[in-house]
Amino acid sequence: MNIYSAISANIWKSYVILVLFVVFAGAVAYVIGKATGYGPSAGVVVFILAVIYSFVSYFYSDKIVLATSGAREIQKKDNPELFHIVENLSIGDGMPMPKVYIVDDPAPNAFATGRDPKHAAVAATTGILERLNKAELEGVLAHELSHVKNYDTRLMAITAVIVGFIAMITDFFLRSMFWGGL
């Protein structure tokens, strides 16, 4: 398998996961709705919510990830070294410059997010910026940019958001059963 077939596989997996999620969520909600007495309307409502949630996870999962991590976007003047590293790596790899973020966290970490290279972001924690030298930081950020280029970020973000949705629906039905369902 070469890089292009891996990229193509990740793109298709993203779409397949979204479609299967909508079908799965609707079917599970239908079965639980029948079992709890809510009727088939519960399946229809959850199906509609799953479609909306799939749309949101595809277009906004990067913003959700950045917001939950407390990342703040930086410009070149805010942290020139970090910005230049990401800029140089992007130019060297022939991909668009992603947005650059810093997360105020002493733990050394970095991550990439976004649905494709044109809508990507790279974040580094203050902990990793303090601990690594320039060459080490370049290696870490090159690794993160490879996730963007391979569409790994889209696949993982969609998967994470969908798992969260399934957990919410399950919690809703369990609570409704505990407080008077069935």
Residues assigned a catalytic role: 144
Cα dist. 18→22, 58, 60, 161 in Å?
Answer: 6, 9, 14, 11
Q: Nearest 5°: phi and psi at 59?
A: -90, -25
How far apart, in whole angstroms, are the C-alpha atoms of residue 163 and residue 113?
17
Amino acid found at 18 = L
Cα dist. 86→82, 132, 134, 156, 161 in Å?
Answer: 6, 15, 11, 21, 26
